[in-house]
Structure 1
C-alpha cells in the first residue's frame, strides 16, 4: 500500500500515491524540476501558453532521457568490448605460459 501525497505542478495540486518513501522523494524532485523549467520558460517565452511551455518541458525531458539512454548503451558496449579484451589477454597469457 502506498502513501497518499500531493504534488503541485504549474500551480495545480495533484493527489498521487507514492509506492515508497524513495518514490515520493523522486516524485517531489521531478515536480520541482518541472516547476523550475516552467519558471525558466515563463521568463523566456512570456507570450506562450502554459500548454506550450509544458510541451517544451516534455520535449526537453524526452531528449534528455534519450541522450542518457544512448550514453548508457555506449558505456555498456564499451564495457563489453573491454571485457572481451581482458578475456583475450588472459587467454594469451595462459597460452604463452604453457
Structure 2
C-alpha cells in the first residue's frame, strides 16, 4: 500500500450490440503520490520556467521544425509562483499538399 495515493475510477456499461445492459464493469487504479517541496532562487526559477516552456514547445512541433528566436515578454513572481510569458519564432513547414486536377 502507498502512503499517499489517489484513486482513478472508470465505470463503463456492458454493451450488447447497440444496447447498454444494466451491468457495469469498473476499473480502479491506485496511483502513488509524492509531495516534493523545491526551493529555487528567482534566477533558477526563471531559467527552469524557460527550459520547461522550450521543451513543451519542442514536443508539440514536428521534427523538421526549428526554434529561431526567443523573447521574454513578461515575468512576474507572486505567492511563490513564477509566471513567464515568452514569444518564440519558429520555422516549420505548414504547407498542405493538394492534387492538381487538370481539365480536358
Fold agreement, TM-score > 0.5: no
Give the TM-score, by structure 1 length. Answer: 0.27
Give the TM-score, by structure 2 length. Answer: 0.26
Work out which structure has the larger RCO, using CA pairs closer than 8 Å and 6 or more positions apart in sequence.
2
Task: Work out which of the two has the higher radius of gyration on C-alpha atoms and give 1 or 2.
Answer: 2
Higher strand share: 2
Higher helix share: 1
